[in-house]
Amino acid sequence: MEYRYLGNSGFKISEITYGNWLTHGSQVENEIATQCVRASLDAGITTFDTADVYANTAAETVLGEALKGERRESLEILTKVYGPIGPKGPNDLGLSRKHIMEAINGSLTRLQTDYVDLYQAHRFDYETPLEETMQAFADLVRMGKVLYVGVSEWTADQLRAGHALATELGFQLISNQPQYSMLWRVIEAEVVPTSTELGISQVVWSPIAQGVLTGKYRPGEQPPEGSRATDEKGGANSIKRFMSDDVLTRVQQLSPIADEVGLSMAQLAVAWVLQNANVATAIVGGSRPEQVHENVKAAGVKIPAELLTKIDDVLGDVVESDPAKTLESSPKTREA
């Protein structure tokens, strides 16, 4: 495992992060979830990403149990605030001061820790003044409940505004957590250049395009039994944008490229996002410990420039690169 600095800070995280979206507390039994966390630790992963909204707080609880007994100082625990939790009342979501202050206490209890290393605004909140949100984060940093602050799926303009306020308030905004993969490159035109300028790193999710880049989904065939594309709890809906025959056909053509660098297709996908210098870590999940062991082999890999070009040529116009897609990721109203 290799480690990278997060943003313009002295804080290092593992190049591969274990994340439990769509798995812990919902898709995967708790015992298997714990085995995946143990496999991550054995592989040198020290960074774990979750959110209070995952499985309506259950994912944080499972992660807290799985990490119990580990040396806290040797871990980097990342969580998020924004999404609706609890009974989903009017103040059970968003980035108001009330919700942020209450949400962090709930997260700390479930994670069984006194602080989180990185607390992230899970989306941009159009209904709360940005000044209110950033002041709440500043106060949590001063209280010691949060060591660093990040965001998720913010546009370049939103990052610039948030960074300016953080600087005024005496703390750093050091990370953004966007979707990023060979198939989904919407951050490259605007978010990455702005982040590089401001000293903000990317903590990327879905580097394998929710399993599509493993090659297990084949054009014209039904998805494999038990795969994410068959999960009606949320997995199938999140993956459907990549399930066209055109995309799946192109993905199959990546197999010889993966062979050239001695990687599986999943490992190639994870290694690909790590070639971007602004990416600090790739979040990988796993419904089996074996998947975790396989994914970590992407750490430290250097893909030759000619193969990166070949990947671009193979995927062609199925790649989504419209920067406006980031703007669409945050809801314009704060409805539960």
- Report yes or no: 126 and 161 within 8 Å, Cβ to Cβ: no
Beta-carbon count within 10 A of 284 CB: 26
Residue of 240, 202, 205, 206 whose CA lies nearest to 223: 240
Tokens encoding 240: 């459907």
d(CA 116, CA 148): 8
Q: Can you tell me which residue has the tokens 């060591």? A: 147
According to DSSP, the residues that pair with 19 across neighbouring strands are 49
The angle at the Cα of 195, spanning 189 to 200, to the nearest 5 degrees, equals 150
Write phi, then psi, for 15 (nearest 5 degrees).
-60, -30
Residue positions annotated with a catalytic role = 54
Reduce the DSSP state of residue 207 to 3 states and report it: coil
